[in-house]
Amino acid sequence: MSPNYSESEAVKLDVKIIKAVVNRAYGLVAETVLSTNRPKFSIAYVVLDSNTPLPTSTAVQAPEQLGATTRSHRGWNPEFHQHSTVRANVNQLLEFRLVARRHSTDEGLVIGYCRLVIRQAAEANGHRREFIFFANGF
């Protein structure tokens, strides 16, 4: 996060990740990582500046000071039930990365991502304090 943002544009975001529904077609995309029987997934989320390049397939962990990574869960509809608070500027992006993980080594591969402009998400939700970010797909 850029340290040069004004305090009037700074917000604390409560990020709650409850559940993900993963399309089984991802099993074909990441065959080397996914088991189609009981795949293993996690979600990394991070606050970024708007000029940050797209994530690479190996960007599976979020830096602690800018976001977090959920624990890994198995299944096509993993339930995470994770809650954390991140500090951001309303002009920044909140990026979610869907990570498929190997069963044996827990190595991961980013197989999908979603970026939200924090200001636009707030405006779309009537500036309420509770946003439903995961209505968006990867």
pLDDT tops 60 at residue 73 = yes
The pLDDT value recorded for residue 1 is 42
pLDDT in tens, 19-70: 888 777 765 555 555 666 677 889 999 999 989 888 888 888 777 677 888 9
DSSP symbol at 84 = E
What's the pLDDT score for residue 90?
84
Task: Pick the closest to residue 115 from 27, 41, 34, 52 (CA basis).
Answer: 52
| Residues ≥6 apart with Cβ < 8 Å to 127 | none
Burial classification of residue 18, based on how many CB atoms lie within 10 Å of its CB (0-12 exposed, 13-18 middle, 19 or more buried): exposed
Taking a C-beta distance cutoff of 8 angstroms, is the pair 13, 118 a contact? Answer: yes
| DSSP secondary structure of 110-133 | EEEEEEEEHHHHHHHTTT-S---G
The yes-or-no verdict on residue 6 having pLDDT over 80 is no
Q: Does domain 7-135 have CATH number 3.40.1260.10?
A: no
- Predicted TM-score of the model (pTM): 0.76
Choice between 14 and 24, residue whose per-residue pLDDT is larger: 14
Domain boundaries, the chain: 7-135
End-to-end Cα, the chain, rounded Å: 23
Mean pLDDT of 7-15: 74
- 130 against 124, higher pLDDT: 124
Min mean pLDDT across 10-14, 92-96, 111-115, 120-124 is at 120-124
